[in-house]
Chain A
Amino acid sequence: MFKHLKQLTSLFAMIAVLFAFTTEAMAKKSKTLKNTQKKGFVRCGVSQGLPGFSNADASGNWTGIDVDVCRAVAAAVLGDANKVKFTPLSAKERFTALTSGEIDVLARNTTWTLSRDADIGLTFVGVNFYDGQGFMVRKSSGITSVDQFKNGISACTNIGTTTELNMRDFFNSRGISYEPVAFEKADEVVAAYDAGRCDTYTTDKSGLAAQRTKMKNPDEHIVLPETISKEPLGPVVRQGDAVWEDIVRWSLNTMIEAEEYGITSANADSMKTSDNPQIKRLVGAEGEMGAAFGLDNEWNLRIIKQVGNYGESYKRNIADTGILPDRGPNQLWTKGGILYVPPAR
């Protein structure tokens, strides 16, 4: 009897080990990737309209550097950068949409902070724009620096953003009493500030530059030189799918590294015969760079060909539209900026 029991337990143990191996092997495959390939499009959360980052034109075509991250992911996993379904989200809705599984990538000028990364079931995969919070005022006010702010100043901003918290830290540390007027939508903030409800409008500087173009008379407003916070903006994915996280991270990294090595959408194909092995890796001509994600070998080539490198994306969306012609910190580390990504090898 006991002998049988022993055999039985070892049998169970064997089955358990086998089962553990299979689940281990299954875990390597990303559930999000599988779903995306089954659906045939990447579900991407974007802003409700921020020129340069994510903005839809009259016929519903989305453009912007955040949009390009989603397009890069679509090019990598589906082979077509246009297979993206964009969901416009308010600052308040964005994280719930991601954690509840309504979208799979959130590329919505979202600041990477400890509490967001750690608390609410999210994982930030990188930074696609280094930003900082600033202030916009009317030129006629004669204010040229935040040092001229006085007690009683009213500041318009968005709710549900890090902006609201930075603003408090800034005014408190300077001992200035202020009136915060916080709206849910960016358009409402702009309308209220433009009408004279507030003395200043505060948000990320790139946002200020972009919203300025929407004002009745953009030339009447200036963005003050001071930056009061660090706002690294980047794409976010749900916690718990490490492979999908890697795919999004390396789609972004590929765009940045392609610029570093001078690979553009125009010359990508010809780079396959380059002498530099790193360039060859970036266009899928050497190594097995896609296997670890469950993708083919030319996933990065497709990103570069269909979306372009980071520099092209920046030029197309932010520089040429007149939002921020100067790349500032968003320049490659080799050219004096802080864009530095781990090597794809």
Chain B
Amino acid sequence: MNNKIKRILPQLLTILFVVFVFGFFTINAQVNMDNRGIDFGFGFLSQEASFDMQFTLLDYDGQDSYLWAYVVALLNTLLVSFLGIIFCTILGVIIGVARLSQNFLIKNSAAWYVEFFRNIPLLLQIFFWYYAALRALPLPENAQPWFGVTYMTIKGYYIPSMIWENLNVFMSCLIAAIVAIIFIRVYAKKIQEREGKQLPVLYISLALITILPLLSFLIGGVTLNFEMPVLKQLAQTSFIFEGGIALPPELIALVLALSLYTSTFVAECVRAGIQGISKGQKEAAASVGLTPNQILKLVIMPQALRIIIPPTTNQYLNLTKNSSLAAAIAYPDLVLVFAGTALMQTGKAIEIVGITMLTYLSISLAIAALMNWYNKRIEIKEK
């Protein structure tokens, strides 16, 4: 009995303390807001937002509600995080492997890259890419085409947009090709386990993914046209490109800065993962006649991934949270639009900051859950 009390009492006190602290702050906030004539509520979310956004993925207009503005801004945040994670992973893996290269030049330039980009504050890097690097770009009227059809200008990167006919036929062919590839891989693995025979999976996959969509053009009635960006004069010295897709310089600068910065950390995770595998593994693999590529792919990487994934998850979370620095360079993300303009127009500070915090928390937890699931999948299955 005495022991039971000893066990429960501290927990009870902790809970009481937490409830007390939360209660104190809630009541305090309520009293203060009452005193100052501010009322609390989420009714504003259905009001008309009446401000415009520079760049949106879905249709948005000032007549839409604050709730829709929130959704659209959230998508902008997710877009930056998604692009950043993709690029920082690709770059990070390349740099991480390069750091272990035997080649003096490759090894050292990779090391310099890491030391340089990870030791400069991220906000400065964002400012650099936006104000210094992108500002050095030409005005639209002076832009030289890149790859013949795209234009990099101070007002953004203009690329042709695709105009599809019978897009769904093309998409179904693509999905069919992907499904077929998955089946072939499973089948090839079975064959190898049973008979030791190796199928040229890579070539079959490549053939499938090119031939099937190609067929959709030839017999499925799919057509693809490009709408080119065309220079348009607004005033004597003011030009813009019309048509095509415009990627705003704010997005480019942000993705660039975020992925260059985070890739250095990913690179270190990758290097640590590979170096964490004992030399014996490599030598054993070589002694059974595997090529260096096969050693990396079949022996080192599957083991290294177990070391790499958990710290890399942290970096993905950091990147997502760091994307809120977008506000500094006018990229309309959640912080700039919702916790900025919407907060200002409605004055609902507590509600909006609360929603924004919960949103970032949810995004981070979702990414963490996904990465944990992947980690579970690749970890050692003890039999």
A-side interface residues toward B, CB under 8 Å? Answer: 91-92, 95-96, 99-100, 115-116, 119-121, 137-138, 140-143, 148-150, 152-154, 159-161, 164-165, 167-168, 172, 178-184, 188, 191-192, 195-197, 199, 238-240
Besides the known contacts A119-B347, A180-B53, A191-B131, 11 further A-B residue pairs in the complex with CB atoms under 8 A apart: A121-B37, A137-B235, A160-B340, A165-B51, A168-B51, A172-B62, A180-B52, A181-B248, A184-B340, A196-B155, A199-B234
Dominant SS at the B interface?
Answer: mixed
CB atoms of B37 and A140 under 8 A apart:
no
> In the complex, which residues of chain B have a beta carbon less than 8 angstroms from the beta carbon of A160?
340-341, 343-345
* 6 pairs of A and B residues whose beta carbons are closest in the complex: A120-B347, A160-B344, A142-B236, A141-B235, A121-B36, A121-B38
Beyond A181-B330, A182-B336, whether A164 also contacts B341 by CB under 8 A is: yes
Please, how many angstroms separate the alpha-carbon atoms of A197 and B154 in the complex? 6
Measured CB to CB, the nearest residue on chain A to B347 is A120
Please, how many angstroms separate the alpha-carbon atoms of A142 and B234 in the complex? 10
Measured CB to CB, the nearest residue on chain B to A167 is B52
CB atoms of A140 and B236 under 8 A apart:
yes
Beyond A138-B237, A152-B242, whether A196 also contacts B54 by CB under 8 A is: no
CB atoms of B38 and A120 under 8 A apart:
yes
Measured CB to CB, the nearest residue on chain A to B328 is A184
> In the complex, which residues of chain A have a beta carbon less than 8 angstroms from the beta carbon of B236?
140-143
A-B contacts, 26 listed (Cβ < 8 Å):
A95-B344, A95-B347, A100-B32, A120-B346, A121-B347, A137-B235, A140-B236, A141-B234, A142-B237, A143-B236, A148-B235, A153-B234, A153-B238, A154-B240, A160-B340, A160-B343, A168-B50, A178-B52, A180-B52, A180-B53, A181-B54, A181-B248, A196-B139, A199-B234, A199-B235, A240-B37
Please, how many angstroms separate the alpha-carbon atoms of A149 and B235 in the complex? 8
Beyond A141-B237, A180-B54, A183-B330, whether A159 also contacts B341 by CB under 8 A is: yes
With most chain A CB atoms within 10 A of its CB, the pick from B52, B139, B232, B329 is: B52
Beyond A99-B36, A150-B234, A153-B234, whether A91 also contacts B344 by CB under 8 A is: yes
CB atoms of A152 and B329 under 8 A apart:
no
* Nearest chain A CB to B322 CB, angstrom units: 16
Measured CB to CB, the nearest residue on chain B to A191 is B131
CB atoms of B36 and A239 under 8 A apart:
yes
* Nearest chain A CB to B373 CB, angstrom units: 37
Count of chain B residues with a beta carbon within 8 Å of a chain A beta carbon:
42
Please, how many angstroms separate the alpha-carbon atoms of A95 and B349 in the complex? 10
> In the complex, which residues of chain A have a beta carbon less than 8 angstroms from the beta carbon of B235?
137, 141-143, 148, 150, 199
CB atoms of A240 and B344 under 8 A apart:
no
* Nearest chain A CB to B24 CB, angstrom units: 17
B327 within 8 A of A: yes
Instruction: List B residues 227-271 near A (Cβ within 8 Å).
Output: 232, 234-238, 240, 242, 248-250
B332 within 8 A of A: yes
- Which residue in B234, B238, B329, B344 is a CB contact (below 8 Å) of A92? B344
> In the complex, which residues of chain B have a beta carbon less than 8 angstroms from the beta carbon of A96?
349
Please, how many angstroms separate the alpha-carbon atoms of A154 and B246 in the complex? 13
> In the complex, which residues of chain B have a beta carbon less than 8 angstroms from the beta carbon of A240?
35-37
Please, how many angstroms separate the alpha-carbon atoms of A153 and B36 in the complex? 42
Beyond A160-B343, A195-B131, whether A152 also contacts B232 by CB under 8 A is: yes
B376 within 8 A of A: no
CB atoms of A161 and B238 under 8 A apart:
no
Please, how many angstroms separate the alpha-carbon atoms of A197 and B155 in the complex? 5
Please, how many angstroms separate the alpha-carbon atoms of A180 and B38 in the complex? 31
CB atoms of A188 and B50 under 8 A apart:
no
> In the complex, which residues of chain B have a beta carbon less than 8 angstroms from the beta carbon of A192?
330
Measured CB to CB, the nearest residue on chain B to A198 is B155
CB atoms of B329 and A188 under 8 A apart:
yes
B135 within 8 A of A: yes
Please, how many angstroms separate the alpha-carbon atoms of A120 and B345 in the complex? 10
> In the complex, which residues of chain B have a beta carbon less than 8 angstroms from the beta carbon of A138?
237-238
Please, how many angstroms separate the alpha-carbon atoms of A120 and B51 in the complex? 19
> In the complex, which residues of chain A have a beta carbon less than 8 angstroms from the beta carbon of B249?
197
> In the complex, which residues of chain A have a beta carbon less than 8 angstroms from the beta carbon of B155?
154, 196-197
Measured CB to CB, the nearest residue on chain B to A138 is B237
CB atoms of B36 and A238 under 8 A apart:
yes
Measured CB to CB, the nearest residue on chain A to B44 is A119
